[in-house]
A = this chain, B = another copy of it.
C-alpha cells in the first residue's frame, strides 16, 4: 500500500529532475526520504503531496530559502501552524500584487501588439516613432577606447 516510488519515478511524475529532487532534500525542502535496503530513496505518497505543495510555492516564486524555512517549521510540528499560516499569507499578498503587475504589463504588451498590427495594416511608412523613437540611432558604433580628446 505504501506507494514506494524511486527517485526517477518521482521525477517523471513531478517534472523535477532526479538531480533537483536530491538537491531539494539536501537543501532541507524535503525531509530525508526513507531508503530501500541498498540506500536508494523510496518516496511515499505523502512525499509526493509535499512536493506538489513545494511546486505551488515555486510556481509563485517563493525562494528556496523561504521554502526551507517553511519546511523546517512543518517538521517542528503542529505548534508552528500559525507561523506557517502567517508566512503563506505574507507570501500570498506578494504573489497577488505581482500577478497584478504582470497583468498590467501584459495589457501594455497587448496594446503594443495592436499598435504593430495597425502599423502593418497601413503599408509601410518610413517614419514612425513607434515606442519612444527610432529615427536617429547611429549604427551602434563599437565604442572605440578613447579618453577625452577625440571626444569633445
What residues make up the interface of A, taking CB atoms closer than 8 Å to B?
Answer: 28, 31-32, 35, 37-39, 44, 46-50, 53, 56-57, 59-61, 74-75, 77-79, 81-82, 84-85, 88-89, 91-92, 95-96, 98-99, 101-106, 108-110, 112-113, 116-117, 119-120, 124-126, 128-134, 137-138, 140-141, 143, 148, 151-152
Shortest Cβ gap from A66 to chain B (Å): 13
Which of chain B's residues has its CB closest to A79's CB?
B124
Write out the residue numbers on chain B whose beta carbons fall within 8 Å of the beta carbon of A44.
133
Closest to A108 in B: B56
> Across the interface, which residues of B come within 8 angstroms of A110, CB to CB?
92
Complex interface: chain B residues within 8 A of A113 (CB): 85, 88-89, 92
Given known A-B contacts A31-B137, A60-B106, A151-B39, A53 and B88 have beta carbons under 8 A apart: no
Question: Besides A35-B151, A74-B134, A85-B116, 11 other CB < 8 A contacts?
Answer: A59-B101, A59-B105, A60-B102, A61-B102, A75-B134, A75-B137, A81-B130, A84-B116, A92-B106, A95-B105, A99-B99
In the assembled complex, the Cα of A108 lies from the Cα of B60 at a distance in Å of 11
Q: Which 8 pairs, one residue from A and one from B, show the smallest C-beta to C-beta distance?
A: A49-B132, A85-B116, A50-B132, A46-B133, A59-B105, A46-B132, A56-B105, A37-B152
